Amino acid sequence: MTNRCTENPLNLGAPILDTTARFAWVVLCELQRELFSGAEKDITTYSKKGQVYMGNFLGVLQQIQEIVWGPPTMILLLITGFYYTLRLGFLQFIHLPKAIRYIFEKEEGGGVGDVSAFASLCTALAATIGTGSIVGVATALRVGGPGALFWMWVSAILGMATKYAEGVLAIKYRSIDENGEVAGGPMYYIEQGMGIKWRWLAKLFAFFGAVTALMGCGTFPQVNAITESVSHAFNVPIPLVGAVVTIATAAVIIGGIKSISSVAEFIVPLMAAFYVAASAYVLLNHASALPDAFALIVKSAFEPSAVTGGATGTVIVSVMTAMRTGIARGVYTNEAGLGSAPIVVAAAKSNSGVRQGLIAMTGVFFTTIIICTMTGLVIITSGLLDTSTLDGGILSNAAFNTGMSGDMGMYVVSIGLMFFSFTTIIGWNYYGERCVVYLTNGVKYVMAYKILYILCVAVAPYLSIRPIWYMADITNACMAFPNLVALLVLSPIVIAETKKYFQ
């Protein structure tokens, strides 16, 4: 295979931008070298056998997942968040109260857009508060130990600054499509902000965005979680649950962003309040275990720990595993740096990128710092990580049951998964549609994409869960890289807009 990483062809004409581009190029080359030095060998080996076993396929997916969520991607995510945190003067701490207040205040003069700022946030939250907040946290703790939750916090704190930057750029660089709807997101601020010669990077983001919506975050994990959870808790046949989810999805997404945001605006606040209240009730019953739980989370983040799980018995989980799992699941739950949220942020009726950026960053706070933390603490204080081999949604069900009477905890988790995952399905459809509009320079293929999306929802209940999670992580990383490059290159614009607003 030809190695095209022997030199850096990027030259933006400005020292700070050249340095950023070179760093991004080095990361891309490192990913190429790691990817094709390992996974390619395995695929060749399996092909020589004349058949590809599912176990081998899973092994390849796992290897690719470990590569794309290896040091280069994690460093790029952390550096981006850390850089913005420093350059913006710890904005996510200082202005968080103001950001929360902005959610409920109407902007003077309004602005161009399709939905209100509150509806935009609810739609973004709808797309983030899904299986990752319940099943994903349980999986992260099982694989990476309690320390994974610590690294989810780190990714969230830094991710708030990243999400703010995404919001600023989303409002500054947006267009109106042929149907009169607002079109925005990373593909637009890459092309308009970085220049036409970077259009290939914008198209790369849009391609992986459309694929991620179809086969990653948007459909397979969410539908699979709904059908398994509801079927287990309420003894409803999986085909029936799948059919109901498919019909409901079709009914909502046909109406476009206004229909999607209306549903999200109604469901998200109610379900978030319900889930937080239920989690708080369980934690009150486990209050005596909370101090030890926090100590274990911090200790496990920096020390290798033994975690019991699966048929292999005791597995030694390294700090690197905890970090990789925590950051990957953190990005999956809050989508900071992923580039998805700016697509719907651009649709908000606002003329202020800074104001909308502040509102956008609260999504990270609500999803990871509050909801995911509640899930993680319920699981850790239940003691089931050490005394059982349960994983995923089943682990979450059992953990909630330890603090509630009978099987009430199982019903709480099932109801939470059902509504959170459904809103994620409809939210990600909008992301995918906007990516298709950019890729095809128009809206003529949007209906075809909707139909394909509905078909993916229909088949999702019958797919295996393990490859689904691997695919979701892989496509997430492929989306994140172009967006993170753009965020670093366009950082002077974000900083200038911020200074101008607060002066």
CA geometry: angle at 290 spanning 286 and 292, to 5°?
125
Using the CB atoms, write b or e for 31-60: b if 16+ within 10 Å.
beebeeeebeeebeebeeeeeeeeebeeeb
Give me the pLDDT at residue 27, please: 46
Mean pLDDT of 107-132: 79
Establish if 407 belongs to a structural domain: yes
Average pLDDT value for the chain = 83
**pLDDT tens profile 296-317:** 999 888 875 544 444 333 444 4
Give me the pLDDT at residue 330, please: 76
Give me the pLDDT at residue 13, please: 44
- pLDDT tier at 371, thresholds 50, 70, 90: very high
56 has a pLDDT exceeding 60: yes
Residue 330: what residue type? G
85 has a pLDDT exceeding 70: yes
Q: Any idea which of 119-128, 195-204, 326-335 has the lowest mean pLDDT?
A: 326-335
Predicted model pTM = 0.83
Q: Which CATH number covers residue 295?
A: 1.20.1740
- Nearest CA to 19 out of 477, 485, 497 is that of 485
Give me the pLDDT at residue 217, please: 81
Establish if 30 belongs to a structural domain: no
182 has a pLDDT exceeding 50: yes
DSSP 8-state code for residue 196: G
CA gap 177, 445 in Å, rounded: 13
Q: Any idea which of 4-13, 272-281, 421-430 has the lowest mean pLDDT?
A: 4-13
149 has a pLDDT exceeding 70: yes
Establish if 215 belongs to a structural domain: yes
Q: What ranges in 406-464 are assigned the alpha helix state H?
A: 408-440, 446-459
Mean pLDDT of 240-252: 96
Residue 285 half-sphere exposure toward CB, CA atoms < 13 A: 16
**pLDDT tens profile 252-274:** 999 988 899 899 989 999 999 99
Whole domain around residue 309: which residue ranges? Answer: 69-502
CA gap 226, 244 in Å, rounded: 11
Tokens of 401: 């049951």
Establish if 55 belongs to a structural domain: no
CA distances (Å), 429 to each of 123, 269, 381, in order?
A: 11, 20, 36
Note the Cα 423 to chain centre separation in Å. 14
Establish if 12 belongs to a structural domain: no
DSSP 8-state code for residue 314: E
Establish if 385 belongs to a structural domain: yes
Work out how many domains the chain is built from and give that number.
1
Establish if 6 belongs to a structural domain: no
CA gap 496, 353 in Å, rounded: 12
Establish if 173 belongs to a structural domain: yes
Give me the pLDDT at residue 500, please: 94
Rg (CA), the chain: 22
